[in-house]
Amino acid sequence: MFKRIFGILAVAVLVLITVLLVNTMLYVPKEQPVVAASDTGSFDVDAIANNLSQSIRFKTVSHQSPADFESSEFEGFIRWLKATYPLVHEKMELKFAGGLTPLYKWEGEDSSRKPVIMTGHYDVVPAPEETLGDWTEPPFSGNISDGFVWGRGTLDDKIAVVGLMEAAEHLLENGFSPKRTLYFAFGHDEEVGGWQGAGRVAQALKKQGVEMEWSLDEGSMVLDGILPGIKKPIASINVAEKGYVTLDIKAKAKGGHSSLPPSETAVGRLSKAIRKLEDNPVPGGLTDVSAEFFDAVAPNFPFVQRMLFANQWLFGPLLEGELSKSAATNAMLRTTTAPTMLSASVKENVLPTEATATVNFRIHPRDTVEAVISHVENVIGDDQVEVSIRGDKNEASPVSDHQVSGYQLLSNTFREVFGELIVVPGLTIAATDTKHYSRISENSYRINPIVFGPEDIPRIHGINERVSLENIELVVKFYTRLIRNLDQSPG
């Protein structure tokens, strides 16, 4: 009897191993069309770097408080654009939204084709005074050294503004005229939501009945070495972006003198609530746009990781658990929970009657603001804790189609300019101005044509933001090739 049982178990194990191996062997990258490298022309990279350097010197900082807004820096940047790119301003129609967000219209020859809008933003986040001594080069110097341009905006996002303007000026110098109408829009307040800039651009175009075939904005880069085990760079053309909501979690209790603390204080009750939220994140998983990203990337992993992804029917919980341990991949799987601010007593020896934590949630496209609030209330489960929305909120974006010609055009252009790549649809985990442009675009895509490695991650909104001269050249080549390719695209 036992011999028979062991025989059955042995056969079952053999069958299981066979299934796992066969699934893994069949789990290979999808064939992608071979695209020949293109001749995008020659560029004076030093001159372009010098122009980017000049743009960095304008302190176009978006402060949290509108009272700190320095309009003269923004106005100076607009004047600089006009002086630096004369052909663009001669050949294109220029309007403004919110006073400081320029909208360029490059009229195409064929009015039957839907236009495309390419966007960026020239406002930047502050460089805190206490960090200035940690910068290799001052954050608004635009200094060029060691093969890099340094300063705020070199990655986020004056590089896109300058790159698009350089490409357009180059094409106009060579007599190019587009068949399809193109729009460029450069936001002045993206870092604080984009409501006065991109929001008003989208509103004005919608009122005129203008609908784009697709839009292109920041959101990802060409990721090199970001995912361990992947040897090829990954061009993540993001087809959606997370929404956001910030909640105030307010706990109440009796106040009084700190010498006579009760068994439970407002601060203690609040601490328990926050602990529960961090221990019980919003449910996630390898579904929807998250699944599409990993399904495209995972066949390129080494054998063991590939086996896990190829056999999610067995390893799904293990896989999701491992992905959740990394901040980067966890953010791809779910709505994230981030406590960011705390307030309670006004004095060290006074027990507060209220203690408040501010918690920011970046909402996955499968979730909604309402669902997040419901999750928070259910997890905390305390009628002495109130939950309320703080400031603006925004639902996650629609998920754009990555099977259409616009996405394929972007994919092919990346291969032309960057060479052998893994091109995948992805998810932008932060917010961009595309939340406004998606209202007037059939599809919206988010990526800057920059090679981006692990060492660059802390530079975004951090210390020592910089971009290499090689990347500057790639940006201009990419936009130049993309605009030319639009003339050959269907639609």
Answer whether the bond into residue 157 is a cis peptide, omega within 30°. yes
Helix, strand, coil fractions of the chain, as percent rounded to 5: 40, 20, 35
CA atoms within 13 A on the CB side of 94: 16
φ and ψ at residue 119, rounded to 5 degrees: -135, 165
**How far is residue 279 from each of residues 31, 165, 449, measured CA to CA in Å?**
41, 47, 37
Rg (CA), the chain: 25
| Residues present in the chain in total | 491
Burial degree of 255 (CB within 10 A; 0-12, 13-18, 19+): middle
Beta strands in 129-233 (DSSP E): 144-145, 148-150, 182-187, 212-217, 222-223
Quote the CA–CA distance of 27 and 432 in Å, as a whole number: 34
Q: Read off the DSSP letter of residue 212.
A: E
Q: So which residues are the catalytic ones?
A: 123, 190
CA distance 128 to 152: 12
